[in-house]
Amino acid sequence: MRSDRAESASRRLLERHGVGAEWARLKGSPEQPPIERGRWYPIVDYDGTSDLVTLGVSGSEVEAACSLLNLARDLPEKGVVYHDSRWQEPGSQITYVFVCPKGHARPDVNLRSHQIRCNECERDYQWEREKPD
């Protein structure tokens, strides 16, 4: 069950950004530790004055600017794929990382398939490329 604080944040985000958001993830940008790229986090609170959301991250609360985030009402069903050079072997082809909606990362995925398997969830997910918007 969502807290009153989270419900209020969702209403204020709807007024300001046009989406009653309950989830957020980084847009196509480098990680902002402890926020991991590609992973969705629950929105705990929203400060409309500074346009910051407070995210629930591993039992802690972390603030992030709305301009750095994709916002969603419900936890999306699709995973996301992005290029991350940290996983790439020198001289190899581009390496892509898949992150399922629950936040499990899998490096070096094959993009020829319409679905990618998350071994931790033990299921296949449709995927989309990370959008930098």
Domain boundaries, given as residue ranges, for the chain? 4-72, 79-129
Q: Hey, what CATH class is 4-72 in?
A: mainly beta
Express each pLDDT in 25-48 by its tens digit.
998 767 788 999 899 999 999 988
CA distances from 44 to 5, 85, 88 (A): 7, 32, 35
Output the six-digit token pair for 91: 């001289």
The CA distance from 13 to 21, in Å, is 6
Q: What is the pLDDT of residue 109?
A: 87
Residue 86 has pLDDT above 70, yes or no: no
Query: Could you give the percent of the chain with pLDDT greater than 70?
Result: 90
Q: In what order do the strands lie in the sheet with 69-72?
A: 60-65, 52-57, 41-47, 23-26, 69-72
